[in-house]
Structures are given as structure tokens and as C-alpha cells.
Amino acid sequence: MLYLRRARVPVSVLPAGFPAAADPLEPAVLCDLTIARDAIATVTPAGADKAPGGSGTRIVDAGGALVFPAFIDAHTHLDKAHTWFRAPNRTNTFFDALDTLWRDKENWTAADLHRRAGFALRCAWAHGTRLIRTHVDTAFPGAETSHAVMAELRAEWRGRIELQTVPLCGDEHFPTSEGRRVADLALRYGANALGGFLQMSPGLPRRIEALLTLARERGVGIDLHVDENGRAESECLRLVAEAVLRTQFPHPVVCGHCCSLAVQPPDRQRATIALVKEAGIGVISLPLCNLYLQDRRGEFPVSPHWRGLTLVRDLLSAGVPVACASDNVRDAFCRYGDLDMAEVYSQSVRLAHLEADLGASVGTVTRLAANIVGRPELGRIAPGGPARFVIFTARSFSELLSRPAASRQCIDGENVHSPAPPDFAELGEPVP
């Protein structure tokens, strides 16, 4: 048994009815937790109960440090991670990223994929992430190798990180035999949902319906890339919501990016958010990648004007579950990144002004993200739930967000430890 004293836990991840924080600007409260093997046994306000005795109980004093549930990274691309050194994006634009990584696929052997994705998982583990959903490019001849490697990594990491997969292909494939092949290949290797990259076209509603049919026949949900641009006329999110409502699709639906929603007229935004809410769609924002890729300008002024993010605050206020996640890491879509959800969290708070409701903000990398990936028992600190936490050096949100790169510890079951991310040198990249 592990007894964790004086852990400062965000109220939004505690069971309903837990006493509220005194200061709304610091929505976390001091708690005492008991952990038996892998599960949380009790969570009580600090000092409310006597510390359990007995020789089998280890007492750890968190000293008022902020403690989050382990992170959920709801949207990544582990098949592309750490390819920048050999496949850099010379223009840093979205379509060059697509071309560059398409050409790099000839390097995607099982050994190459395992090395890069395995490295990414070790980084995520060290930073306190315990569930990762990765999209996997699937409409190309080598896709079976990618899925087989992800299935292998899923088995290797079982009990530490839960690895979920979603196939990725263009929407033109959905109504074709290739669409069925992609779906069946991915599911054969344990995919958690079907997916795809949507682009506006007159035929898009029909293509979305074809994907919903594929998913319905196979009894799974969908997780899409939509509207990753700043063009107001890009309304894939709206078309997905309408198709879900029209067909009464019964499984979970997730839309990633949804950036163009932010540049539409307010009436249109309100109407689309209402449709998204009614359709029960979860939204995943990928702030670091959006910031990197969007608003790249070829002529004066070359400086970016907008942040590229969807309407995170407005979606949350409307009751739409929103997660913030890593997306691409060290590849042609995003040159930087370390699968560090504390970085994603702190940057998301800054970029999307989430300090307006810090309690809700924690959910975007824990509770809400867990709901979106279909694991609602994760991302919380509640009796019966898994004992997976991140203990920050910070004692408040102010300290955490001021020094987000400060060291942190992890708790996995009764084990309190400080895993370190692997050295970049292990990737064997040539250093100029």
C-alpha cells in the first residue's frame, strides 16, 4: 500500500461532490490518496482521515505538489515521428509535408518504424503519458508493415502505455474497395476506430456516409482529420456532424484540427458548434502543429497573423469534449516535439487562453481526452481508477505554467519513479 499525502489535485479530475477549491484561480485541492497495487483505493481531503498504519504501508509526502492523472495523448503519428533529419520540409508548408513524407515511405521498414515509434513511446512514458492514440497511414503498399509494428509495440508496452491505432487515408477511398481494404487491414491489427483525411468537394457528404457505413458494419467509431486550414469555406466538421445526425451513426465520432471553424462568421460558428454538440462529436485540437504549419506566408509580411487553433474555449463552453494532443513530432508536418504532454498542455493554455477556466483546461489532456478515446475510467483521480499520476515540482498552476519544463515524477501503481527520456543520439541521426 502506498499512502500519498498532501497531493494538490485539480478538482475537475476528482469525483463529483469533492470539496471545491477556495481560490477559483487555483482550482486544485490538497488530497490524501491510498494506492493498493495498481488502483486508487481512497481519495480524501488532506488530513481528513488518519494515515493508515501497518508495516506494509509506505508514506510519501507530496508536500503540496500539483498532481495530475497520467496524460492521455489522443492524436499522434508515430509512423512519421523522427523522420525530419532525412525528410525535412523545405518550405514548411502542409502540402510539401504530404509530398515529403509520401516519398519517405520507401524507408518505412519494420525495423525503421519500430526504432522511431519505440523511441517516441519512451519519450512519452518519461513525460507521464499512459495512453497514446496514433493515426497510421494505410492507403499505400507498405501499410501492413506499419500496422504490424504498431501491434508489436502495443504488446511490448502493455501495462505501461496503452497504444491505440486509427488508419489514415484520403476520403476518396471511403466508397471504394480500397476503403474496405484499409478498414479491414487496420482492424485486423487491432485498430480502435476508422479514420481519414477529409477535403471539401461536392462528393464529400457521400464519401462521409460511405465511411460511416464501413464503420457501422464493423461496429467501430471514426476519428478524422478535418479542416486543418484557415479557409472559412472549409466546413468538413459541419458535414461530418450533419452526416452523423442524418444516419444516426451509433458509435463514437472524433474530429481533429477543426481549425477553419475559427475564421468563420459568428453565426455560422454557433450553428456548427450546436450541430457538433448534438451529434456527440469529440474534438481534438493540435495546437503545436497548427501553430507550426498554418499561416505560412510567401510574401510580405511573412510573419504569421493567426494561431491556427480551433475554438477550444467556445466548444468547451458548449459542452463539447475537447482534447489537446501532440500530433506530429520531428517530421515534415512539425519539425519539433517530444511527445511531452506537459508542453502541449502549457502551450495550449497560453495559445487558447485556457486560463479562463484552468479546471476545464486540465481535462483537455486527461479526463476529456480519455472520454474521447473511449477510456472514461482514465484521466481521473478517483477510487477504483488506475493509479497513474504525474507529480510536478510546482505547487500551483501559476508555478507549473511559469516553469513547465521543470522536472516531474511519475506514480505507476505503488511505484514512485522519475523516468528519463531517451537520448536523441540513440536515433542514430547524422549530426551536421
- Looking at beta carbons only, is 327 or 340 nearer to Zn ion? 327
**Omega before residue 301 within 30° of 0, cis:** yes
Residues 88-147 that bind Zn ion (CB under 5 A): none
Measure the CA–CA gap between 369 and 25, rounded to whole angstroms.
23
- Looking at beta carbons only, is 32 or 79 nearer to Zn ion? 79
- Looking at beta carbons only, is 32 or 327 nearer to Zn ion? 327
CB of 216 to Zn ion, least distance (A): 24
What are the distances in angstroms from CA 33 to CA 8, 45, 48, 84, 310?
A: 11, 9, 11, 43, 36
- CB burial class (10 A; 0-12, 13-18, 19+) of residue 22? exposed
* Sign of the Cα pseudo-torsion (168, 139, 151, 100, in order): negative
| The CA-based dihedral angle spanning residues 21, 27, 31, 35, taken in that order and rounded to the nearest 10 degrees | 140
- Looking at beta carbons only, is 227 or 327 nearer to Zn ion? 327
CB of 324 to Zn ion, least distance (A): 13
Provide the grid cell at 172. 476518396
Among 162, 209, 228, 235, the active-site one is 228
CB of 257 to Zn ion, least distance (A): 7
Number of residues that bind Zn ion (CB under 5 A): 1
CA angle 262, 264, 267 (to 5 degrees): 110
Place of cell 497514446: 132
Residues 282-341 that bind Zn ion (CB under 5 A): 327
Closest residue to Zn ion using C-beta atoms: 327
Provide the grid cell at 116. 522511431
Does residue 242 have an active-site annotation? no
Measure the CA–CA gap between 160 and 403, rounded to whole angstroms.
27
- Looking at beta carbons only, is 327 or 331 nearer to Zn ion? 327
CB of 288 to Zn ion, least distance (A): 11
Q: Catalytic amino acids?
A: 228
List contacts with Zn ion (CB under 5 A). Answer: 327
